[in-house]
Structure 1
Amino acid sequence: MAELVFFSGTMDCGKSTLALQVDHNHRVQGRQGLLFTRFDRSGEAVISSRIGLARPALEVAEDTDLWHEVSRRHRERPVDYVVADEAQFFSPEQVEQLARVVDDLGVDVFAFGITSDFRTRLFPGSARLVELADRVQVPQVEALCWCGARATHNARTVDGAMVVAGEQVVVGDVGEREGTLDVGPVGTIAYEVLCRRHHVRRETAAVAAARGEVDVRADVSAGSAPAAPR
């Protein structure tokens, strides 16, 4: 039977890489799929990973009806599976539409996304996926905090200082990238993954380096993609 599967983790744990691998595995077996994404780090209508892989995808907008999109294409040419990346940015209604795709069309849906935001609050789309998914899985590759522990939380910094308030959606990245996202009066925004202890204490890698606790590489704080405030 078809399933709705939600692969969830922090930033930097390889979700988009896994999404592209799932698509590849199904395509080489002759299955026909659709790829959806929203606010990918590399821009519109693409699923990209930090290791350089990328595939064209259909960009999901606020008013996109995923049931209509998939069912229309399914009538023209049978769809066997759907890959939905950056699913935390989907609306709860769009997640429900994906569940209907599974139940009414018998199409497998593989959704990939971050569970909670920089404030440790659930994204609405992720919350609905947890409620509706047949399975919730954690990617095998673990992102690491600067201390070496498994990273469980996403941290946002503004001008180098960690913040726990602000717009929920300002799209960015972690990893080796040039520069950070300068959003004018708001400040320069970057992201970092932390374990719960250091997120609660607001101890980023830069803070640890200032205290002499860790030798932080220049690329610990990441650059970012275009902002998408909501």
Structure 2
Amino acid sequence: MAQLVFFSGTMDSGKSTLALQMDHNHAARGREGLIFSRNDRAGTAVISSRLGLAVPAVEVTDGTDFWDEVVRRRTRGGRVDYLICDEVQFYTEAQVEQLARLVDEMGVDVFAFGITTDFRTRLFPGSARMLELADRVERLQVEALCWCGARATHNARTVGGVMVTEGEQVVVGDTSEMGEAPAQAAGEVGYEVLCRLHHLRRVTSARAQAASLSPLTLPLDA
């Protein structure tokens, strides 16, 4: 039976790499599928991984209707056995429901990939609906690491190098040098993965390096 599977993890945990590998494995067995993504770091209509892999994809917008996409292709004689859906946290709740309907009524496997929470530690609407509807939720086995070496569990946003916990939920920013401490211009948005302790204390890699802190000597008012 077809399934709706949600692969979740923080940034830098290999979601897009696994999505590309999943597509390769199914295509190698003669199955035909579609790849979707939204707000990929490499631009529109592409899915890319930090390992340098990239393939064309269908760019998802708020107006995308997955049910219509599959019906249109099948009506024209095409096959759609599975969907690879990356950056699913940016999908709408209605779009996640469309994906579930494709699984149940058309037998299309859906493999969705995304992060669950935003920089405020709040669930993305798309991820929340996916958690509610998925047949199976898989946590990615590749663990992203905080600057202190602990497992990273939270996504942090920085503006001009300073961590922030307020603002719009979706803002495109630099994620290419997470775990390091790149200099940021005033107003420049960036993202970094942190463990829960350092996220709560707002101690980013840049702040830790500036203060020459070790994981065991943290300011209590951070």
Cα separation, partners in 2 of 1:167 and 1:62, compared to 1, 3 Å: same
Q: CA separation in 1, counterparts of 2:48 and 2:154? A: 22
Q: CA separation in 1, counterparts of 2:172 and 2:135? A: 28
Structure 1: segments with no counterpart, 5+ residues: 215-230
Q: CA separation in 1, counterparts of 2:38 and 2:149? A: 31
Q: CA separation in 1, counterparts of 2:148 and 2:68? A: 46
Q: CA separation in 2, counterparts of 1:10 and 1:156? A: 13
User: In the TM superposition, what is the alpha-carbon distance from 1:73 to its structure 2 partner?
Assistant: 1.3
Q: Do structure 1's residue 101 and structure 2's residue 95 form an aligned pair?
A: no
Q: Deviations over 1:145-184 (max 9, x none)?
A: 001111000000111110000011012342349x8887x8
Question: Is the 1:151–1:196 contact (alpha carbons within 8 Å) kept by the matching residues of 2?
Answer: yes
Q: Which amino acid in structure 1 is aligned with residue 154 of structure 2?
A: H
2:217 maps to which residue? none
1:26 maps to which residue? 26
Q: CA separation in 2, counterparts of 1:54 and 1:200? A: 34
1:40 maps to which residue? 40
Q: Do structure 1's residue 92 and structure 2's residue 93 form an aligned pair?
A: yes
Structure 2: segments with no counterpart, 5+ residues: 215-222
User: In the TM superposition, what is the alpha-carbon distance from 1:91 to its structure 2 partner?
Assistant: 0.2
Q: Which amino acid in structure 1 is aligned with residue 98 of structure 2?
A: Q
Residue aligned with 1:50, SS: coil
Q: Deviations over 1:121-165 (max 9, x none)?
A: 000000000000000111111100001111000000111110000
Give the 5 Å matches for 1:1-230: 1-75=1-75, 76-176=77-177, 187-213=187-213
Seq. identity, %: 68
- CA RMSD in angstroms, aligned pairs only: 1.8
Residue aligned with 1:44, SS: coil
Q: Which amino acid in structure 1 is aligned with residue 202 of structure 2?
A: R
Residue aligned with 2:64, SS: coil
Q: Deviations over 1:69-114 (max 9, x none)?
A: 0122133212111000010000000000000110011010000001
Q: CA separation in 2, counterparts of 1:66 and 1:153? A: 30
Question: Is the 1:7–1:111 contact (alpha carbons within 8 Å) kept by the matching residues of 2?
Answer: yes
Q: CA separation in 2, counterparts of 1:19 and 1:117? A: 21
Aligned residues: 211
Q: Which amino acid in structure 1 is aligned with residue 20 of structure 2?
A: L
User: In the TM superposition, what is the alpha-carbon distance from 1:206 to its structure 2 partner?
Assistant: 1.2
Instruction: Give the alignment's TM-score, normalised by structure 2.
Output: 0.91
Q: Deviations over 1:34-67 (max 9, x none)?
A: 0011111111100001111011111111111111
